[in-house]
Amino acid sequence: MHADPTPDDLTPAVLDRIRRAAGDPRRRILFTGATVVTMDPALGTLPRADLLVEGDTIAAVGTALDAGDAIVVDATGTVLAPGFVDTHRHAWQSQLRRIMPDVDDLGGYVTTTLAGYATAYRPEDMYTGTRLAALSAIDAGITCLLDFSHNSRTREHSDAAIEALLDTGIRGVHAAMGPHFGDWDHQWPGDLTRLADRYFSSDDQLLTLRLAALATDEIAGPALAYGPGLARVAADLGIGVSVDAVFGAASSAAVLDWAEAGLLTPEVTLIHATGLTPEAWKAIGGCGATVALAPTSDAQIGLETAVPAVDEALAAGVRPGLSIDVEVALAGDMFTQMRTLHAIQRMRAVNDAYGTGRRPARITTHDVLDFATLQGARTNGLQDVTGSLTPGKKADLLVIEAEDLNTMPLNDPVGTVVLGCDARNITAVLVNGEPRKWNGRVLDVDLPALRQQVRASRDHILAATTG
């Protein structure tokens, strides 16, 4: 039996008690009676179980945990799951959501967005777009977001993007890169040292820093392409590297060059990875580099082969993370990414084996949830911090309603999370032990004011670039 106080549900009164003790490392929150999908291979999924949060950390997962002096939350009828981890999103673009939903190729996106809209961004537009993306991520259960911030035109642009992540309370990874086109101060990558000193001086904080780069010089020239110079910058700062636009023959050759030069390491993440050669995949697997897939981006925009490279990654021994990419054309939630990848891979596997009598290897709902949580954390360099409900990790977790019209009855919890849920079913989100969404509502957001800021930013950008 649990000790007093009597368990309560996700009421404002419980939230008030939790928030009044914010910052207290001894504060304890006990969620009781939930189905706990830990995504920890050693713990698995626990029916009718409890989860204890102490301060910012998961202290225990099990049955009939002693409440002691904890604030007890009755989570009966819910699924507790790790927060999703987005391994690559260009957050600054979010005030231009779905402005080009039917873009047909990379060139169309680059010309319209990177050579066009991006050039009109002020620091306040960087802040507004990044903040909107992070708040929306929290609403949809993404507790860790890698912001591939490739519009750093000035120091102030970079500061604004980082401040936006800070102000939302999300676990953020700021991956900084200079812009592709237009006028800018050329302060990157030198400014990374200032950013590291100003915003990333602690190893125990919500934000981390990475260097962002492109795979080759085909799109924007050699200054933004990963190679020995940028690798030295990252090594000197002790930060990871996220490399975008990794696809096709040129990227395959670059991968082999990096491997030979010792630049392809577990601290390097390759984004997309479509249309790579078998030799490149062998090098990726052999060097321990991580991979961030963008399932809807690859398929919908048509990047290289247009097939998310999950089979190639798994064959190379790489379990990938998942990412959103660009909201100018795509959905911004992880449920869409998981379902898209699940459907495409299984379609591809069965189609390849059709009429042969072979039994194709198909990924499972557990696989894609693993990609969206634990493997995403590993891809972002945060596998010891988040990605699973493992005691000792930070308390980044979701409370998902399993008795709603679209989720009841709860038969297979992993299948329900992957195939049955959307943002409306996420009733609470904790990041680092702090509630960021509660009783179905994202906290600390003045929606009317945010709408005004987003519309004003969008209108400025369009007026400056479309004439």
DSSP 203: S
Mean predicted confidence (pLDDT) in 416-432: 98
Let me know: does 300 contact 326? Beta carbons within 8 Å.
no
Residue 202 has pLDDT above 90, yes or no: no
Q: Return the bridge partners of 28, or none.
A: 54
pLDDT tens profile 51-100: 999 999 999 999 999 888 999 999 999 999 999 999 999 999 999 999 99
Task: State yes or no: pLDDT of 256 exceeds 50.
Answer: yes
467: confidence class by pLDDT, cuts 50, 70, 90: low
Q: Residue 211 pairs with which residues in a beta bridge?
A: 176, 241
8 Å CB contact between 295 and 368:
no
User: What is the distance between the alpha carbons of residues 462 and 467, in angstroms, rounded to a whole number?
Assistant: 8
Please state, as a whole number, how many other Cβ atoms lie within 10 Å of the Cβ of residue 184: 17
Write down the pLDDT at residue 5: 43
User: pLDDT band for position 307 (50/70/90)?
Assistant: very high
SS3 348: helix
pLDDT tens for residues 310-325? 999 999 999 999 999 9
Residue 435 has pLDDT above 80, yes or no: yes
pLDDT digits (tens, 9 = 90+) for 241-250: 999 999 999 9
Query: Helices marked H in 140-185 — which ranges?
Result: 155-168
pLDDT confidence tier of residue 4, bands split at 50, 70 and 90: very low
CA distances from 361 to 39, 294, 310, 358, 424 (A): 22, 21, 12, 9, 33
- Mean pLDDT on 350-377: 95
For residues 253-263, average pLDDT: 98
Q: Say how many residues make up the chain.
A: 467
Q: What is the mean pLDDT of the chain?
A: 96
Contacts of 225 (CB under 8 A, 6+ apart): 213, 214, 215, 216, 217, 254
Sign of CA dihedral 462, 463, 465, 467: positive
CA 464 – CA 458 distance, rounded (Å): 10
What is the model's pLDDT at position 2? 41
Q: What are phi and psi of 171, to 5 degrees?
A: -80, 105
Span 213-235, mean pLDDT? Answer: 95
pLDDT of residue 37: 98
Quick one: pLDDT band at residue 1, thresholds 50, 70, 90?
Answer: very low
Q: What residue ranges define each of the domains in the chain, with the CATH number in brackets?
A: 12-82+384-442 (2.30.40.10), 84-379 (3.20.20.140)
Per-residue pLDDT at 23: 84
